Structure 1
């Protein structure tokens, strides 16, 4: 069933949907009472519109002695309600039904068991006589409070003595200021007033209602005993029943009230006016993750491995006794480049943790600026909500970023082979010279030696091989240092990107989701209250 559409703005269906969305978004963020009230309004509206919309439920409410039961009897055309003056006589609500066919489920929902069929017009009127709202019986007052929230049209019956009663105005009329469209105030017993006094009472009652915010609410003077003003009251009720719109107007007022209560505690200026310092957050996370230590270890490890692969064969074996800087941190890759596992990086220091926590807190504070207190608290909590996952995520970034840094450049193999060649030449020269020494020692004839200029080949091979090996080692070390720095810069970029991604996923994204939730809340609330 499609609810009535107002002349302008969204339909009541759309407003109810928006109110429900706003209430669901506000759960856990705003105080429970207004959120529960909004959910109740949305649920109640769904039930009311599923029941008979051809009937208009009008409730007569008033204080003890106001004469509402007398009005009920006059309207119903019989002595249906017990009449009293000084004490409450109506203990439970009762209904008079004009053409009550189909009104059973509606009255079952209202929990009104006492029902009286009435013939005549207006067809579709369901008139309720409520207990006294100032009854000494708590159950009577609770019954009034319950039905005041459910009926389609409220007729408040007052008398000349108690029309200014503070309990009526402060407990009922003022809180229902948004429900003026579905409210009528009747000053009963005007026959007891001297000539001219009735007009003065009605004018004073009008003033009090205006102070309550109920501008434009119809105010009628009647007498249930003499019938004065009853025709005007009947005509007004006939008109409202014929329109069959009071139930929708009541729901519309309920939606506006619920939306206003949510707005009062959960809506403020635009969110996100301050941009979080993402660079500071990334820097703090990088420091806590040990990125500077890892970058330095990458450069040193590259040099260490290059020297071990391209150094002088007689001295490179000593590198085995020096720990690999990356392996010592549990970083690098296996034979196939797979992730080794959790690193052995030292835990962040107290100073590093403090800087990281401060950066996270600053993100929450900057994002929560200009938000109302409940939503600001939710945003700040969102910034810290996944703080416990940061250590593992950052460690994974570091371990992943260092995969492949152990790959050997091709030139290492070529230079290593060259080193073995010149080392072999030096060994050959040394052996050759040793053989010549042995021949001289044994006084054996020496073979003719080939020469390079003035130098014999054995000497050239020994000295040249040694010098060439040292030169190649020095050049290789220089190239390794430069390559290590280049590789460290590349790893640093990857690490910074990964750390920024972790910060975005675990810190900024929850904040953005919470801000988006607030934006959707304000939009839904605006649609519900429009």
Structure 2
């Protein structure tokens, strides 16, 4: 319960109403949103016209005596008064001090204008067509002007003051317009004094039931002039204040805001404070639900398979690059795990794939940026570089079901406490990128896995060392073979250098042959440990990349929708004043 309520300036209220209408577009019924937008636009137009004039409209049913009162207040016979079935076809305006009122009357669309000398200066009095006329055009004209004027004077008679059409179609809908509404019971001269009091009391009761407890009720007689002085005094007082136009706009804004709140909450109360009861979603709870979402997306994107492939590919490539040259050819016959998944080198693509991925990034609003990749060499890779489409298998039915469940749980958590209209919008936002999610996940995995296909720097010197040992062994074998051939042919042997007691050919053959195999085994242990470490790093990078994709395609749209509702609720409260 609010003990203090900040008074919102009129300009801010109208701006808030326009913002609320904009936020509600596509979420609430079109006619409610359009009504709020129209009110905001119309208010802006009215503020731009003369605020020194107050437009007062005499409205009512056929035979109520509007035209007679109009003539009496203006002191001239400006409106025709019928005898059998009096009716007003078009609106007429009487303007006291008409200087500057022309644009205002043009905006109102009133062609019949009469200038009246004297006081009250700034009064524009309209005689409206009958709201119950048998002519549809008359009723439409009356309804149009009822929406535009600053002050409404409803003229009723003792026979029809309780008419259901008047109360349900007009007065009840103007419940927030009590400050700019007067109700005049005309023809009191036809009633006994006691009956007049009873009629006025009953009319007061009906107005209170309509929500117009602040609207004054006056009893007048256009035929005898009784009560007309009080009516004139009330109009002079309102005109002198020069604030009826602002009160009307404020009431219109409050009514439109209440309609938005009513449409949002699905209640019939129309109170904007109903929005205060809607609790904002628990941000911590949503963040906790991001973890199951990321886990489900990782499973659907084949992250465990990629991590295993990164680990095995590192070991495979390490053996190919640093293994014993005599046996490494056999390793080359085995398929490369990353190449089998289409992730052998995600940075090399043809121009078509590059352009395709760039367009996808641009459509998603993601810029191409440079950042350091999580590779062993510390080199930089482009985050926005287009990877080839991987050969990972598509998500299974179970994986898709897990993903759908995680998205649904997150959407329900975000929509918890919101009105159903907005909760449905949040759920739609969560699924808004469902079609592109598999493709974007595949690209996210390819981008994150690309750096892990790189060769560590130590592989090249290690491979070179293995080849040097191999060359030494071959050289030693050839040297010994030459010496054997010379001995076999009984030719003189050249001098053979020695290392200690061992001849160099033997040292080269034995040393190169025996050192290569243990060194290859040592490098294999290093490859196994490196593959394990690279797999862990790949898992972290893939988790971050998949989480970012899930956040961009699921979480961000959900939070944008929740933020839209918060802006809407704040704007409705401000528009209500």
| Same fold, TM-score > 0.5, yes or no | yes
CA contact (8 A) 2:171 2:210 kept: yes
CA drift of 1:121 comes to 2.0
CA contact (8 A) 1:332 1:399 kept: no
CA contact (8 A) 1:67 1:188 kept: yes
Q: Is it true that 1:313 corresponds to 2:325 in the alignment?
A: yes
CA drift of 1:71 comes to 1.1
* Cα distance in structure 1, aligned partners of 2:7 and 2:203: 33
* Cα distance in structure 2, aligned partners of 1:107 and 1:424: 105
Q: Which residue of 1 aligns with 2:517?
A: 470
Q: Which residue of 2 aligns with 1:359?
A: 406
* Cα distance in structure 1, aligned partners of 2:242 and 2:554: 53
Q: Which residue of 2 aligns with 1:271?
A: 280
Are residues 403 and 138 of structure 1, via their aligned partners in 2, closer, same or farther at CA, if it must alter by over 3 Å? same
CA drift of 1:254 comes to 0.6
Q: Please list the CA deviations of residues 13-51 of structure 1 after superposition, one character each: whole Å capped at 9, or x if unmatched.
A: 111111111111211221111111111111111111222
CA drift of 1:435 comes to 6.0
Structure 2 counterpart of 1:322, from 327, 334, 337: 334
* Cα distance in structure 2, aligned partners of 1:450 and 1:242: 125
* Cα distance in structure 2, aligned partners of 1:216 and 1:446: 130
Q: Which residue of 1 aligns with 2:17?
A: 19
Residue range with higher mean Cα deviation, 67-76 or 467-476: 467-476
Unaligned runs of 5+ in 1: 1-6
Q: Please list the CA deviations of residues 67-99 of structure 1 after superposition, one character each: whole Å capped at 9, or x if unmatched.
A: 121111111212222223552421111112222
* Cα distance in structure 2, aligned partners of 1:24 and 1:192: 52
Superposition map of 1:7-156 within 5 A: 9-84=7-82, 86-156=84-154
3-state DSSP of counterpart to 2:225: coil
3-state DSSP of counterpart to 1:33: helix
Residue range with higher mean Cα deviation, 413-422 or 217-226: 413-422
- The structure whose Rg is larger is 1
Q: Which residue of 2 aligns with 1:403?
A: 450
CA contact (8 A) 1:367 1:379 kept: yes
Structure 2 counterpart of 1:502, from 546, 549, 559: 549
- Superposition TM-score, scaled by structure 2 size: 0.84
CA drift of 1:438 comes to 6.0
3-state DSSP of counterpart to 1:413: helix
* Cα distance in structure 1, aligned partners of 2:426 and 2:166: 42
Q: Is it true that 1:280 corresponds to 2:292 in the alignment?
A: yes
Structure 2 counterpart of 1:479, from 523, 526, 533: 526
* Cα distance in structure 2, aligned partners of 1:408 and 1:103: 83
Superposition map of 1:290-439 within 5 A: 290-333=302-345, 341-427=388-474, 430-431=477-478
RMSD between aligned residues: 2.8
Residue range with higher mean Cα deviation, 13-22 or 75-84: 75-84
Unaligned runs of 5+ in 2: 266-274, 349-378
CA drift of 1:489 comes to 0.9
Superposition map of 1:507-522 within 5 A: 507-522=554-569
Q: Please list the CA deviations of residues 433-467 of structure 1 after superposition, one character each: whole Å capped at 9, or x if unmatched.
A: 65677678779999999999999987776566544
* Cα distance in structure 1, aligned partners of 2:451 and 2:48: 67
CA drift of 1:184 comes to 0.6
CA contact (8 A) 1:51 1:105 kept: yes
Q: Please list the CA deviations of residues 477-502 of structure 1 after superposition, one character each: whole Å capped at 9, or x if unmatched.
A: 12211111111111111111111111
* Cα distance in structure 2, aligned partners of 1:449 and 1:235: 135
Are residues 14 and 406 of structure 1, via their aligned partners in 2, closer, same or farther at CA, if it must alter by over 3 Å? closer
* Cα distance in structure 1, aligned partners of 2:114 and 2:460: 105
Q: Which residue of 1 aligns with 2:367?
A: none
